[in-house]
Structure 1
Amino acid sequence: MRAFSFGFSLIELLMALGLLTFLVTVAVPGLSAFLQKSELIAEQQKLQSLLSYARMAAVTQGEHVVICRWDGEGGCTGKTQRPAQIWRTGALVFVDLDQDRELDLPEEKILKIFYFSDTNQISWNRGETLVYEGDGSVYGSSNGTFTISNEVNTYQLVVSRAGRVRRAL
């Protein structure tokens, strides 16, 4: 009786190495692009929920609620209305009691801080702030578009004058 032989033959080993080489050269780059796109979509959904949260807070409290470009410490970077400002660090949401679009601590309350991913770039075409009024609409004519992008993909969230947010195609 022959003893059973355990292990791989040379042909089996070469087939396994060929399959592994194919997977590394073809599947991994596709997986990387898929992961980048998934991260971008997740960031878009989080930003959309933040905008909805700020609008809801403005309606329930009957006050102006500001979303501003966060400075990374304890306040906003400013209140300029220059177009296409890149929001690198994140966004800060607060109730603006004196309606000056500036965070005045301790009178005004910070509602939420939203951190942005380092791999994506987020910009708002209306400057450094977005203000929701007590009825849920945006203050003045500050409707505009948030653009979320990375090296491969770009997505947009459009904020209407009524304060509603929709995804642009």
Structure 2
Amino acid sequence: MCIQGSNLAFPPVLFIAQRKQQYLQILSALSAAPKQVHRKTLHDRGFTLVELMVTVAVMALLITVGAPALTHFLLQAEQDSALHQIKNIYSFARQEAVHRQVDVSICPVSEPLPDQCGENWSCGMLVYIDQDGNNKFNLVTDIKLRELYFSDAIAVTWVRNNTGFNLKPDGTTNRNGTFRVYLQGLSVNKNLVISNVGRARFAEETDSKRDRVWCR
């Protein structure tokens, strides 16, 4: 006996055997899938205790070795920042002197009175035009151009004197000298050397701690 339809004939026994084989394959695939998923889930669940302990030990070693170097790098960056701030405010004062064709003065900021000149460069710097010519900043008669303040960890000295200096309309200075920048925790101070013709250059030297005065 044969099943006829659409000009096709299949023996019933062969047809049933093929269907049975297909069902068995589907059931086998379904029964194997959860085991594979379960094994994958167990594998991706996380670190073992040994792996975690090794990771923590390596991290602790890196922190122990790298922390001092990172601290030194941050201190150097702060010192360099202060030095470049001095260079920038000096260059600004020199440009203003040439542009305005007048003397421009730079003096240390007074500790109790920021709008007056003092004797401690560590507290900051004041750039102004001394219109009355008394070598002192007067908030009423003189023109304040710019001011700069430093952090408590920075100490600055002007080797030539503690009263300040002037920049001439031709860009030269009435006093050559050196700005020394110190930072707590570093053994080397960074310098900004000013020549008579007004040129500025960077230099380094071992910190002698002979003339450091902190702003209080």
- When normalised by structure 2's length, the TM-score is 0.69
- Which runs of 5 or more residues in structure 2 are unaligned? 1-34, 205-216
Match of 2:84 in 1: 45
Task: Report how far residue 104 of structure 1 moved.
Answer: 2.0
Q: 2:62 aligns with which of 15, 23, 26?
A: 23
Task: Report how far residue 14 of structure 1 moved.
Answer: 1.0
- Which runs of 5 or more residues in structure 1 are unaligned? 79-85
Deviations 1:66-119 (A, max 9, x none): 1110125211115xxxxxxx4121101000123321012322110001111222
Match of 1:129 in 2: 164
Match of 2:21 in 1: none
- Check whether the contact 2:192–2:202 (CA below 8 A) recurs between aligned residues: yes
Larger Rg: 2
Matched, 1:112 2:151: no
SS in structure 2 at match of 1:24: helix
Match of 1:98 in 2: 132
Give the aligned residue type for 2:166: V
**Identical amino acids, percent of aligned pairs:** 30
- Check whether the contact 1:147–1:154 (CA below 8 A) recurs between aligned residues: yes
Please identify runs of 4+ aligned residues in structure 1 that moved more than 4 A.
none
SS in structure 2 at match of 1:154: strand
Aligned partners of 1:98 and 1:51: how far apart in 2?
Answer: 22
Deviations 1:108-136 (A, max 9, x none): 11000111122221111122212112221
- Of stretches 44-53 and 66-75 in structure 1, the one that deviates more from structure 2 is 66-75
Aligned partners of 1:100 and 1:143: how far apart in 2?
Answer: 20
Deviations 1:4-41 (A, max 9, x none): 23122011111111111112211111101001111111
Matched, 1:149 2:186: no
In angstroms, what is the RMSD of aligned CA positions? Answer: 1.5
- When normalised by structure 1's length, the TM-score is 0.88
Matched, 1:75 2:87: no
- Of stretches 153-162 and 94-103 in structure 1, the one that deviates more from structure 2 is 94-103
